[in-house]
Chain A
Amino acid sequence: MDLKDKLVSSFMAFENMVDIDTPIHDVRSEAIKTFEEKGFPSKRDEAWKYTSLNSILREDYSVFPKKENSIEFRDIKKYFIHDIDSYKIVFIDGKYSSHLSQTTHDGIDVCLMSAALSKPKYRILIENYFNKAATKDSLSSLNTAFSQEGAYIHIPKNKVVEKPIQILHFSTGNESALLLQPRNLIVVDENSHVQIIERHQSLTDNPVLTNSVTEIFTNKRAIVDYYKIQNDKQSASLIDNTFVKQKRESHASVHTFSFGGQLTRNNLNFYQEGERIDSTLKGVTIIGDKQHVDHNTLVHHIEPNCESHQDYKGIFGDKSTGVFNGKVLVNKKAQKTNAFQANNNILLSDKASINTKPQLEIFADDVKCSHGCTIGQLDESAMFYMRSRGIPEKEAKALLMFAFSNNVLDSVKIPEIKQRITKIIANKLGVNLGFDL
Chain B
Amino acid sequence: MLKINNLHASVEDKAILKGINLEVKPGEVHAIMGPNGSGKSTLASVIAGKEEYEVTQGEILLENENIDELAAEERAHKGIFLSFQYPVEIPGVSVTNFMKTAINETRKAKGLEDMPANEMLKMIREKSEMLEIDRKFLSRSLNEGFSGGEKKRNEIFQMAMLEPKLAILDETDSGLDIDALRIVANGVNKLKSKDNAVIVITHYQRLLDYIVPDYVHVLHNGRIVKSGTKELAHELEEKGYDWIKEEVKA
Contacts and interface: CB of A to CB of B under 8 A. Distances in A.
Given A380-B52, A399-B101, A386 B90 contact: yes
B117 to A, nearest CB: 10
Interface in A388-435: 388-393, 395-396, 399-400, 402-407, 433-435
B87 A385 contact: yes
Contact of A388 (B48, B52, B97, B105): B48
A395 B72 contact: no
A374 interface: no
B114 to A, nearest CB: 6
B49 interface: yes
A388 B82 contact: yes
Contact of A381 (B82, B88, B92, B105): B88
Given A380-B52, A388-B82, A399-B101, A393 B90 contact: no
Interface string B148-165: 000000000010001000
Contact of B76 (A381, A389, A403): A389
Contact of A433 (B52, B89, B92, B101): B101
Interface in A282-315: none
A387 B45 CA distance: 12
A384 interface: yes
A403 B91 contact: yes
Contacts of A434: 100-101, 104, 114
B158 A403 contact: no
A399 B88 CA distance: 14
A388 B72 contact: yes
Contacts of B90: 382, 385-386, 399-400, 403
B73 interface: yes
Interface residues of A, number: 28
Contacts of B45: 384
Contacts, number: 90
A390 B92 contact: no
A385 B88 contact: yes
Nearest to B84: A385
Given A380-B52, A406-B91, A390 B100 contact: no
Contacts of A405: 92
Contacts of A392: 71, 73, 105, 109
A191 B94 CA distance: 37
Given A384-B88, A387-B73, A435-B97, 19 more contacts: A384-B51, A385-B87, A386-B98, A388-B48, A388-B75, A388-B80, A389-B76, A390-B102, A390-B103, A391-B105, A392-B71, A392-B105, A393-B73, A396-B73, A399-B98, A399-B101, A402-B93, A403-B141, A406-B91
Interface of B: 45, 48-52, 71-73, 75-77, 80-82, 84, 87-93, 97-98, 100-106, 109, 114, 141, 158, 162
Interface of A: 379-382, 384-393, 395-396, 399-400, 402-407, 433-435, 437
